[in-house]
Structure 1
Amino acid sequence: MVPYKIPKLLIFDCDGVLIDSEIIATAVHVEALARSGYVISADSYNSRFLGMTDEQSYSIIEAESGLRLPKDHQRCVMAEIAKRYASDLKAMTGVRQALDAINLARCVASSSDPDKLHFALRVTDLYDHFAPNVFSASEVAYGKPAPDLFLYASEKMNTSVDSCLVIEDSVAGVRAAVAARMRVIGFVGGSHCPPKHAERLKEAGAMTTFSHMTELPKILAGR
């Protein structure tokens, strides 16, 4: 249930919410990091870096390990992700039905870089559900868990923060919404979500969680 009032604006994260992409992207990141001498499991990578920008995660990795990633690291990672997205990426099960059933203003606010974000939405046929209201962390000073991106989205959509509702799958994203003084609910239906992920999102500030996109219209209706 969404307490107090129905929102005027839904702000969707993209990766792991609209598209089941995290398992693909994480595999590419883990493989590329291993080639550079930084070994980390997919579960550990997601636990630490899910929801952050790539630049944020690279900065932490380099500071902790003393490694310097190759200058073409990001370019190679993005090229491989695009290749795998083109062949393997799927929209989250039930997301189109949910979007069609919800008569509220909506936008996307993602940590992904703009090219990757737009490509992912287009290859899954979701772009037209949001266009042109697709916002990237590259447009603000600080990525999640800072509130900047969600505040930017609410400003661009001419909606007060107390009338926004964020749908997020990451702890960093939930914390960003809380820092922006927005209500937030957690989505745990992505293939990357580990056991007890719902509890982690609630601890970070999510009001409730759900595991299938077809549940979202019911949650918004207070059922």
Structure 2
Amino acid sequence: MRRSEVDMSGAGLGAVGVERAGRPPVGLVVFDLDGVLVDTQHAEDGGLVRLAARMGLTIGDEQAGELFSGNRLATCIELLETLSGRPAPEDAVEFVRTECERIIGPRLDPVDGVEEALRRIPLTKCVASNSPRDLIERRLRASGLLDYFEDRLCSAYDASVWKPDPGLFLSAAAEHRVPPSECLIIEDSEVGVRAGVRAGMRVLQFTNGRSCPSRSDGVVTFAHMAQLQDLI
């Protein structure tokens, strides 16, 4: 594990304890959806890769993750238009979402360890995602996680602002009447991390074991959901 990631050793937990000194209490824990609660990024990427093929582009899995992770669907489609030099098909949004659902299939598992983490965190929790609200609710219900959030679902489509703009997180804080300094963001993508930092909120970046560059912006990275409660 890299030095920038917190481990479960005594030294790692000691470092967390030092960071807590003088820090405001957490009043709201804000979870991203994809990559944090459910792992559907591969399906989102797959739908966009298939759209790219229709537009004459060949995009590999690694490049797809770099281009699309955390971004608004419309932004991804605009990027494909730029790369291909041609307009996207009129059915681009519907096509990508249909392909994504086909790739996901009938079963959607939560991220490993996240349900136990949600059960152990006795704080107000909400979801803030660039996805439409009906999609957020559908995926949480399919993964068995909806009851942990009830109706505390914040969609960029409702707020009319998308990450990396901090407005979505600020809207979630205002809706729950919690100051930004008392909000804790759980994100996996660089897009979401940037939004949280710009909102003036504390951010934990979930790497799920992936390599992640060292950070100098105060963001703490962690590799496993079993670590989350101790980091809060």
Higher alpha-carbon Rg: 2
Query: Is residue 99 from structure 1 mapped to residue 118 from structure 2 by the alignment?
Result: yes
- Counterpart of 2:191 (choices 144, 161, 172) is 172
Matched with 1:207 is 219
Q: Name the SS for the 2:50 alignment partner.
A: helix
- Quote the Cα distance in structure 1 between the aligned partners of 2:150 and 2:69: 25
Matched with 1:34 is 53
- Quote the Cα distance in structure 1 between the aligned partners of 2:77 and 2:51: 12
Per-residue deviation at 1:103? 0.4
In structure 2, give the amino acid aligned to 1:62.
Answer: E
RMSD: 1.8
Contact 1:185 1:206 in 2 (8 A): no
> Which residues of structure 2 form unaligned runs of 5+?
1-15
Matched with 2:163 is 144
Per-residue deviation at 1:48? 2.5
Matched with 2:200 is 181
Contact 1:174 1:206 in 2 (8 A): no
Q: Normalising by structure 1, what TM-score?
A: 0.88
The percentage of counterpart residues that share the same residue type is 33
Deviations 1:75-97 (A, max 9, x none): 12212222333434210011111
- Quote the Cα distance in structure 1 between the aligned partners of 2:109 and 2:39: 6
- Quote the Cα distance in structure 1 between the aligned partners of 2:82 and 2:41: 24
Contact 2:43 2:101 in 1 (8 A): no
Deviations 1:147-187 (A, max 9, x none): 01101111111111000000000001000011111110100
In structure 1, give the amino acid aligned to 2:134.
Answer: D
In structure 1, give the amino acid aligned to 2:226.
Answer: T
In structure 2, give the amino acid aligned to 1:169.
Answer: D
Per-residue deviation at 1:111? 1.0
Matched with 1:121 is 140
Closer, same or farther: CA 42–80 of 1 in aligned 2, 3 Å: same
- Quote the Cα distance in structure 2 between the aligned partners of 1:146 and 1:32: 26
- Counterpart of 1:155 (choices 149, 174, 179) is 174
Matched with 1:217 is 229
Deviates more, 1:9-18 or 1:122-131: 122-131
Deviates more, 1:137-146 or 1:154-163: 137-146
In structure 2, give the amino acid aligned to 1:22.
Answer: Q
Per-residue deviation at 1:12? 0.4
Per-residue deviation at 1:32? 2.4
Contact 2:46 2:100 in 1 (8 A): no
Per-residue deviation at 1:210? 1.1
Matched with 2:87 is 68
Moved over 6 A (4+): none
- Quote the Cα distance in structure 2 between the aligned partners of 1:30 and 1:72: 15
Per-residue deviation at 1:37? 1.3
Q: How does 1:2-81 map to 2 (within 5 A)?
A: 3=20, 4-81=23-100
Per-residue deviation at 1:219? 1.2
